[in-house]
Amino acid sequence: MLMEIADTLRTKLDPRKTLNSLRGDADSSNSLTGSGPGYDSGNDPRNDSEPELHKERTDNSDTIKSSRNGKAPLIKLTDVWKIYQMGEVEFAALKGIDLEIYEGEFVVVLGPSGSGKSTLMNLLGCLDVPSQGTVSLNSRDISRMEESELAQIRGQMIGFIFQSFNLIPTLNTLENVTLPLEFQEEEPSRARERAEYLLDVVGLSDKHKNLPSQLSGGQRQRVAIARSLAVDPPVLLADEPTGNLDSKTGDYILEFLDELRRKEGKTIIIVTHDLTPVQYATRVVHIKDGEIEKIEEVEGNYCKL
Amino acid sequence: MRNATYVKMALNMLLHSKLRSWLTIIGIVIGVGAVVGIISLGDSMEAQVQSSLADMDLTKITITPGYSGAQSRMPGPGGGGSGSDSSSTDSELTDDDVDALQGIDGVLYIDTQISGSEEVDYAGETATLSIAGVDPQVWQYMNTLEVESGRLLEPADNNVAVIGSSVATEIFDQEIGVNQVITVNDKSVRVVGVLEEEGGSEDRKVYMPLDSAVDLIEDAEEDVFDSIVVKVEDEDLVDPTIEEIEERLMISRQIHQEKDRDFSVSSSLSMAESVTEMTSSMTLFLGAIAAVSLLVGAVGIANTMFTSVLEKTKEIGTMKAIGAKNRDILLIFIVNSAMVGFVGGVFGVMLGGFVSTLFPYMGITLMKGAGSSSSSLSPDLMVFGLGLAILIGVVSGAVPAYRASKLKPVDALRYE
Ligand SMILES: Nc1ncnc2c1ncn2[C@@H]1O[C@H](COP(=O)(O)OP(=O)(O)O)[C@@H](O)[C@H]1O
Ligand SMILES: [Mg+2]
């Protein structure tokens, strides 16, 4: 099913039309990326049967404000500050951010350069902890967690897509996509199958052996997307994903992410200074000087700007 | 992360490393090569010493004219009967000295010897050989020499010689057999015995009865000896006998002060000891140099690893973002530096093996018979060399790898 989407994207059809034509049978398959060789989510923190998580969830159940179809937010930031110490001077890159992100949202964080977008993304992606305030993921407070726990969460919950792709230059395409699975100790043959499948999805099945340097920018970002999907994480975080791409390839990437949200129910968060991604957003968070200026809720599928 | 993955990632890093990092491997190659080569040299020297000691007569004491402190403490390895041309002295050993030595407890035989280098002709060829005049009464009882053919010297012998195996078979085109006549300084001498091969300078010697030798060797005089060799019953008697000899000779030669002393007493035992000592201290010294080169190699690897961690900062950040734990990063880098060590070790062991085959040509043949021992590396030594190299890789990579593992993902990702 995801393959079909990929095919149509590749033939440069309007993805919106493709979506309509695919919508009918979308229901018959509930997880598209999961329909390929799957990632074994046995020790997945999302799994409700995990005792610790379950306990925490029931403990907090009263305090969680139900919203968005009565669901608790996937990621919740409460009065988050990030203060950088630069010698004697302190610099607040984020000043009291409150933000809730729900499953299946396409959130675009929009702001000029230096406004604290990347800092925010690092917190959303558990790459960093706030100086003040709390960040919780699935109602678990990650603000005081050990690096090893954070690594675990990142490895299973979050797929990263970077502006400069950040592929490992000495690993070929297939190895790059397999890498996150290796960190999760996935069985090698299954990891390989999964990676091959994902490269197929992004239309690079003939580039398994290529090193990143032997690919175009658009191809590299597709590899990066395949890599971000390797462990089938619920959240995809992208920091200026189209910043280094021409607008046509940029559109392809954005459409692909949009498809992932629609078909897979992935939560997509894009951080950017560029207006292009906004058209796919379900919500736009405007950020300036480390503060949220306004949040635009978008009625329907697309934001009309 | 699985072990296989660490190895895979580390190998990937190794294979893609820059020429510059390969160059620093040279430090380890040389270090390990030196250590392995020197240990192998030390081993073969020790084996040589052991084998020479095994067939060396350790109950002999040699008295030579002239004295210097150094000479008595560390006699040249050529000792045991060769003349003392090292000290510039006109003192002599004479019959009187031999008389003074009579009747010491535990002394079995006293041999008097002269030596010189003379021209020997045989079948139209001439060679300069070392001639030893020995006392035919006792000589055959005082040494461990065995004849290949013929016999040793006997008391009644006159104008005969026993020759070393090289003299018989190598020096002259035509082989010299028993009862052949050779010409020494224009005088005819009949060969009565050919010695078995000993290895070393002994094989190139011609032994003759003292009286005959006096006539042949230039500058030789009746009743004046180049050395007096005393054989005692037992190794334990060597040291007390040396003391006794020194005491008696001081008295008979009327020497009252140590500084006027004009003779030296040495034993093959003390010689053997000092050679063993010398060998081991030389091995130790060379080993210390090798250790320094290993240290330099280790610093080289550490330096390369630091650079490589710096270069890979962004990759480390990426790996952490996609789920790598600190431990994963640590192990990837440690395994990588262990591999660098391993590669260095392989080449180092090869270098060490190559160098140790060169020793015989470099004149590092302290002991006789060195040429015959092949000095190829033992499997143990190879494993040791490899293990050492890997250990050095791990140790010198540990700090950089730890640094890499502790990088904060955000900082690493920001690094350009
Ligand atoms: N590690 C850091 N140390 C000091 N200042 C930082 C650090 N990271 C970011 N900043 C500062 O915080 C502000 C926000 O940075 P960033 O989040 O990268 O902005 P954006 O991604 O919106 O361009 C900038 O002024 C930047 O200089
Ligand atoms: Mg940024």
Compute, in degrees rounded to 10, the torsion defined by CA atoms B180, B181, B182, B187.
170
pLDDT at A60: 39
Decide if A212 touches B, using CB distance below 8 A: no
Ligand 1 atom 6 nearest Cα: A84
Which chain A residues have a beta carbon less than 8 Å from that of B320?
Answer: 127, 151, 154
A235 lies in some domain: yes
B327 lies in some domain: yes
pLDDT at B364: 52
A134 lies in some domain: yes
A241 lies in some domain: yes
Average pLDDT rounded to a whole number, residues A146-172: 94
Same domain (yes/no): B75, B223: yes
A233 lies in some domain: yes
| Of B5, B63, B29, the residue nearest B248 (C-alpha) | B63
B257 lies in some domain: no
DSSP B80-117: SS----SS-----EEHHHHHHTTT-TTEEEEEEEEEEE
Q: Structure tokens of A77?
A: 């930031």
B260 lies in some domain: no
Q: How far is A116 from chain B (nearest CA, A)?
A: 13
Segment B86-139, tens digit of pLDDT = 444 568 888 888 888 888 888 889 999 998 888 898 988 898 999 999 998 888
CB B91 within 8 A of CB B82: no
Ligand 1 atom 26 nearest Cα: A114
pLDDT at B27: 87
Q: Which domain holds residue A102?
A: 2-297
Does position B171 have pLDDT exceeding 80, yes or no? yes
Query: pLDDT band at A17, cuts 50/70/90?
Result: very low
Same domain (yes/no): B215, B90: yes
Q: Which domain holds residue B369?
A: 3-53+274-413
pLDDT at B104: 86
Which chain A residues have a beta carbon less than 8 Å from that of B321?
Answer: 125, 127, 154, 160, 166
Same domain (yes/no): B281, B398: yes
Say yes or no: CB of residue A228 within 6 Å of ligand 1: no
CB B116 within 8 A of CB B110: no
Same domain (yes/no): B298, B388: yes
Q: What is the mean pLDDT of chain B?
A: 84
pLDDT at B85: 44
B242 lies in some domain: no
Say yes or no: CB of residue A282 within 6 Å of ligand 1: no
Same domain (yes/no): B185, B288: no
Decide if B5 touches A, using CB distance below 8 A: yes
CB B389 within 8 A of CB B344: yes
Q: What is the C-alpha separation between B11 and B5, in angstroms, rounded?
A: 10
Average pLDDT rounded to a whole number, residues A272-281: 93
Q: Considering only B63-72, B140-149, B155-164, which range has the smallest mean pLDDT?
A: B63-72
Q: Do B13 and A170 touch (CB under 8 A)?
A: yes
Percent of chain B residues past pLDDT 90, beyond the cut: 31
Higher-pLDDT residue of B414, A33: B414
A305 lies in some domain: no
Same domain (yes/no): B278, B406: yes
Segment B251-261, tens digit of pLDDT = 888 888 888 88
**Complex prediction ipTM:** 0.82
Distance A137 CA to ligand 1 centre (A): 23
Ligand 1 atom 4 nearest Cα: A84
pLDDT at B404: 94
Nearest atom in ligand 1 to the alpha carbon of residue A82 is 12
Decide if B103 touches A, using CB distance below 8 A: no
Task: Provide CB contacts within 8 A for A202, sequence distance 6+.
Answer: A6, A222, A223, A225, A226, A256
Query: Residue A68, Cβ neighbours under 10 Å: how many?
Result: 15
Nearest atom in ligand 1 to the alpha carbon of residue A86 is 4
Q: Do A183 and B319 touch (CB under 8 A)?
A: yes
Which chain B residues have a beta carbon less than 8 Å from that of A128?
Answer: 408-410
Q: Do A183 and B328 touch (CB under 8 A)?
A: yes
Segment A194-216, tens digit of pLDDT = 999 999 999 999 999 999 999 99
| Sheet hosting strand A132-137, strand order edge to edge | A89-101, A75-86, A132-137, A140-141
Ligand 1 atom 5 nearest Cα: A84
- Most confidently modeled range among A21-25, B56-60, B322-326: B322-326
Does position A282 have pLDDT exceeding 80, yes or no? yes
Segment B280-320, tens digit of pLDDT = 888 888 888 888 888 988 898 898 889 999 999 999 999 99
Q: Do B323 and A162 touch (CB under 8 A)?
A: no
pLDDT at B375: 54
- Indicate the number of domains in chain A: 1
Give the best residue of A142, A168, A236, A244 to mutate against chain B (max B CB count within 10 A): A168
Q: Do B322 and A160 touch (CB under 8 A)?
A: yes
Query: pLDDT band at A69, cuts 50/70/90?
Result: low
Q: Structure tokens of A153?
A: 């969460």
Query: Residue A102, Cβ neighbours under 10 Å: how many?
Result: 18
Cα distances (angstroms) measured from residue A66 to each of A59, A69, A83, B154: 15, 8, 31, 121
Q: Measured between CB atoms, which of B315, B322, B408 is closest to A227?
A: B322
Q: Residue B1: helix, strand or coil by DSSP?
A: coil
Higher-pLDDT residue of A62, B229: B229
Ligand 1 atom 17 nearest Cα: A116
B124 lies in some domain: yes
B405 lies in some domain: yes
Segment B345-384, tens digit of pLDDT = 999 999 998 888 877 666 555 444 444 445 567 889 999 9
B266 lies in some domain: no
Average pLDDT rounded to a whole number, residues B16-26: 85
Average pLDDT rounded to a whole number, residues B167-192: 89
Which chain A residues have a beta carbon less than 8 Å from that of B324?
Answer: 151, 155, 183
Percentages helix, strand, coil for chain A (3-state, rounded to 5) are 40, 20, 40
Segment A27-53, tens digit of pLDDT = 333 344 554 555 654 444 444 443 443
Residue to substitute in A85, A88, A113, A119 for testing ligand 1 pocket (most ligand atoms within 8 angstroms of CB): A119
Query: pLDDT band at B266, cuts 50/70/90?
Result: confident
Same domain (yes/no): B79, B226: yes
pLDDT at A24: 31
Q: Do B1 and A185 touch (CB under 8 A)?
A: yes
CATH code for the domain of A58:
3.40.50.300
Decide if B16 touches A, using CB distance below 8 A: yes
Q: Pick from B182, B212, B233: which residue ends a domain?
A: B233
Say yes or no: CB of residue A86 within 6 Å of ligand 1: yes
Q: What is the C-alpha separation between A253 and A104, in angstroms, rounded?
A: 18
Same domain (yes/no): B74, B215: yes
Cα distances (angstroms) measured from residue A288 to each of A98, A123, A128, A284, A285: 14, 17, 20, 13, 10
Same domain (yes/no): B291, B227: no
Q: Do A156 and B324 touch (CB under 8 A)?
A: no
pLDDT at A124: 95
Which chain A residues have a beta carbon less than 8 Å from that of B323?
Answer: 151-152, 154-156, 180, 183-184, 231
What's the whole-model pTM score?
Answer: 0.72
- Indicate the number of domains in chain B: 2
A304 lies in some domain: no
pLDDT at A66: 39
DSSP B12-45: HHHHT--HHHHHHHHHHHHHHHHHHHHHHHHHHH
Q: Pick from B203, B233, B263: which residue ends a domain?
A: B233
Distance A117 CA to ligand 2 centre (A): 6
Query: pLDDT band at B221, cuts 50/70/90?
Result: confident
